[in-house]
A and B are shown apart, each in its own frame.
Chain A
Amino acid sequence: MTTTDRKPLLELLKDLSALLVGAAALLYVFGFATHWAYFRLLGIDINGQAFDYLRFAADYVTAVVGGLPQLLFAFVYYAPTLIDSLLLEITIPCFLIAIVALALYVRPLKLSKLRKGRSFIVLWWTLNFLIAASLWLLCQTELDMAKVRDILQPIDAADVQQMQSQLSDSADVGNAVLLENRARNVARVYEKYTQTQKGEPGFHFFNAWFNPTLGPNNSNERRTVYLALLLLNLIVLFAAILQLVSLRTANADENTLNVHERIGPGWSRLVIVILAVGLALQMFLFPFVYATVGRNLTYPIVRLKLTPLSEDSGSETKSEEPSKTQASATQEKTNVTATAENWTHSVYLIVDRDNEVIVFDRLNFFQVKRIPRSRILTMSQVFAASPFESCSKDQAIFTPCETLWISEQTPVLDF
């Protein structure tokens, strides 16, 4: 190698920095897409910050990289999903892609004798068609999956209004009875959704993955679909990259066929555009897959000790800078309220931010509550569970997890 072939150090550093900036930008985009998809799925409108996006990007990359060894070692676990009705029509072309790509590009198997012949070009075009078809089918399935949204609140407003009306003025009824009734109402909301939303967009996926009254193993279902889709996406991704590389004219020598020259520049450009657009689309759709089926949806179940709403709202109208007297007043208030029985019932902690927490109060008719940090005196984690699974030991009975690990006499109050 001559010195003229070597890149100067400065050029290398420039390339490296460009690569790093590109990677950071891509991560940011992944983080933004995942963040948006996740909160859209939950039905919570939240303004993300750059750090949130980076955290989600890190989660996403970890989930993809962590999924790679599972693709090998847990094949038996997710293999049935590959031949399930949802993915079978994608699995078949992807399986063919793998065979054709192996025949074309893997050295021990490749059709070396045919490389310069007509058969190579026929297989090459076949692979392109298979990739395009798979990308199309993958996009369709993933866009269908993106139709599932607002999974925390699958409610019929009129129905909930009547349920609330039934429970009003029920001071004469014991807390245990009310808790039992609220738990029943949770199940009823899901049943009503199943009954009335049949045929609506996203209904099928909601029932399969997020309806706790129907699927005892929702998280398993989601996990297997995620792994299966990761495998199919990777097959298509690698095959498409191999096809794009094969079109590079610089690679052509006497031992390899110059595909670019053989098929002509017009067709070559068309294939490059189709594959590049398809891959780019997949890259931006897969965060939706991750957010929907790849992310762990187990949340801490917490009880909160809050300042009374009236006192808090009163203090908020005062100056924002806490003075010494205010601090001591707050201390006094804390002491007073700490003795009071103002622990809330169990709720799911969905988001824990610097200025507020977002909790899912399912027992209070599926409310998603934003509570300012200033109102929270103490937060006690009871345990962790998924709102999309039943905590009953009997499969036929649905028990909301948040009703367990608290006394049956715990009052369920709006806060």
Chain B
Amino acid sequence: MDIRTNASTGFLVVLLSLAVANSAVPQSQGRGFVYVTTQADSCTQTKLQLQLDNLTPKPASVLLRITREDKTEVANKELNLGSDGNYYWTGLLVPLGKYKAEVFDARNKSRPLGKPFAFNNIEILRDFIREERGEIIYISRGGGEKETAQDEKLQTKTVDGLPPRANGNQLHIIVMNSRGNKADEYYGPPPVERRWTSKPLKPGEYRLIIAEYKSDQNCQVTRGKVG
């Protein structure tokens, strides 16, 4: 009888433990729905807001993997749940364009929490068009000499007087049209001759954004026009 009682008690304890353990696991058996919003962060950095639906409760942390169209990995980072119920990631995504965000379970990194969500961070340029970026210094820049390309209708745009190469600083140059569409882009160390020439572009006036990322993580944006 005692043996039976002990066995029953043990069985109940095991059941109870399983129940407790099960309740501690987030009820995220169903698949989630991912939604990603891009926002402009400081300089030309991109801030991603990740919304994860259909997972209750939401995981305290998730793993975000960002890949380019050619499937090369750009970022792989664990994100914590924000107070507003969303996850946030900030970083430099260059070249501006189409990326894919995939969200995985932080504890089981091979388990996706939803389907990949493709986004385009060229949208952050709209803030520059609207001239809402407070940290930008206005200067009159650009123009310079024009080089005629093979096709007479296209012209290259030259930007000179760029910041000098120093302490591993990086330049992010974006040429865009008046509608906020990217026309050309450069990311890398400042050219030695402090001059950058765009690819052949259609005639017209273009807006120019030059972001200098310094080694101390500071950055400065200069805005101008090239005609």
By a beta-carbon cutoff of 8 Å, the part of chain A in contact with chain B is 158, 161-163, 165-168, 170, 172-173, 177, 180-181, 184-185, 188, 191-192, 195-196, 198-199
- Asked if residues B126 and A196 are in contact (CB atoms below 8 Å), the reply is yes
Residue of B nearest to A188 (CB): B35
Judged by DSSP, the binding face of B is strand
Interface string of B12-48 (1 = CB under 8 A from A): 0000000000000000001101111101000000000
- Asked if residues B129 and A158 are in contact (CB atoms below 8 Å), the reply is no
Point out the residues of chain B lying under 8 angstroms from A196, CB to CB. Answer: 123, 126
Point out the residues of chain B lying under 8 angstroms from A161, CB to CB. Answer: 118
Contact of B117 among A162, A181, A184, A191 (CB under 8 A): A162
Point out the residues of chain B lying under 8 angstroms from A185, CB to CB. Answer: 35
Distance in angstroms between the alpha carbons of A410 and B29 in the assembled complex:
23
- Asked if residues B33 and A172 are in contact (CB atoms below 8 Å), the reply is no
Point out the residues of chain A lying under 8 angstroms from B36, CB to CB. Answer: 162
22 CB < 8 A contacts A-B: A158-B120, A161-B118, A162-B35, A162-B36, A162-B117, A165-B115, A166-B34, A166-B35, A166-B117, A172-B30, A172-B31, A173-B30, A173-B54, A180-B53, A181-B33, A181-B54, A184-B35, A188-B35, A196-B123, A199-B126, A199-B129, A199-B130
Distance in angstroms between the alpha carbons of A166 and B36 in the assembled complex:
11
Interface string of B100-130 (1 = CB under 8 A from A): 0000000000000011011110010010011
Residue of A nearest to B126 (CB): A196
Residue of B nearest to A156 (CB): B123
Point out the residues of chain A lying under 8 angstroms from B119, CB to CB. Answer: 158, 162
- Known A-B contacts A166-B35, A173-B30; A184 and B118 likewise in contact (beta carbons under 8 Å): no
Point out the residues of chain B lying under 8 angstroms from A168, CB to CB. Answer: 115
- Asked if residues B115 and A166 are in contact (CB atoms below 8 Å), the reply is yes
Point out the residues of chain A lying under 8 angstroms from B126, CB to CB. Answer: 196, 198-199
Point out the residues of chain B lying under 8 angstroms from A166, CB to CB. Answer: 33-35, 114-115, 117
Residue of B nearest to A184 (CB): B53
Point out the residues of chain A lying under 8 angstroms from B35, CB to CB. Answer: 162-163, 166, 184-185, 188
Tell me the smallest distance from the CB of A185 to a CB of chain B, in Å.
Answer: 8
Interface string of B131-153 (1 = CB under 8 A from A): 00000000000000000000000
Point out the residues of chain A lying under 8 angstroms from B130, CB to CB. Answer: 198-199
Distance in angstroms between the alpha carbons of A299 and B119 in the assembled complex:
34
Distance in angstroms between the alpha carbons of A185 and B34 in the assembled complex:
11
Count contacts on B: residues with CB < 8 A to the other chain: 20
Point out the residues of chain B lying under 8 angstroms from A173, CB to CB. Answer: 30-31, 54
Distance in angstroms between the alpha carbons of A185 and B117 in the assembled complex:
14
Tell me the smallest distance from the CB of A167 to a CB of chain B, in Å.
Answer: 7
Residue of A nearest to B34 (CB): A166
Point out the residues of chain A lying under 8 angstroms from B117, CB to CB. Answer: 162, 165-166
Judged by DSSP, the binding face of A is helix
- Asked if residues A170 and B129 are in contact (CB atoms below 8 Å), the reply is no
Tell me the smallest distance from the CB of A191 to a CB of chain B, in Å.
Answer: 8
Other A-B pairs beyond A181-B33, A195-B39, 13, CB < 8 Å: A158-B119, A162-B119, A165-B115, A166-B33, A166-B35, A167-B33, A173-B31, A177-B30, A177-B54, A181-B53, A192-B37, A196-B126, A199-B126
Residue of B nearest to A163 (CB): B35
Point out the residues of chain A lying under 8 angstroms from B34, CB to CB. Answer: 166
Interface string of B57-99 (1 = CB under 8 A from A): 0000000000000000000000000000000000000000000
Tell me the smallest distance from the CB of B112 to a CB of chain A, in Å.
Answer: 12
List 8 A-B pairs, minimum CB-CB distance, nearest first: A166-B33, A199-B130, A162-B117, A181-B33, A166-B115, A177-B54, A181-B53, A162-B118
Distance in angstroms between the alpha carbons of A170 and B34 in the assembled complex:
13
Point out the residues of chain B lying under 8 angstroms from A172, CB to CB. Answer: 30-31
Distance in angstroms between the alpha carbons of A199 and B54 in the assembled complex:
34
Point out the residues of chain A lying under 8 angstroms from B39, CB to CB. Answer: 195
Tell me the smallest distance from the CB of B178 to a CB of chain A, in Å.
Answer: 12
Distance in angstroms between the alpha carbons of A161 and B116 in the assembled complex:
12
Distance in angstroms between the alpha carbons of A168 and B117 in the assembled complex:
12
Distance in angstroms between the alpha carbons of A161 and B39 in the assembled complex:
19
A163, A191, A192, A199 pick with most chain B CB within 10 angstroms: A199
A158, A162, A180, A196 pick with most chain B CB within 10 angstroms: A162
B33, B119, B129, B130 pick with most chain A CB within 10 angstroms: B33
Point out the residues of chain B lying under 8 angstroms from A199, CB to CB. Answer: 126, 129-130
Point out the residues of chain A lying under 8 angstroms from B114, CB to CB. Answer: 166
Point out the residues of chain B lying under 8 angstroms from A192, CB to CB. Answer: 37
Distance in angstroms between the alpha carbons of A343 and B117 in the assembled complex:
32
Distance in angstroms between the alpha carbons of A181 and B115 in the assembled complex:
14
Point out the residues of chain B lying under 8 angstroms from A170, CB to CB. Answer: 31
Residue of A nearest to B53 (CB): A181
Residue of B nearest to A192 (CB): B37
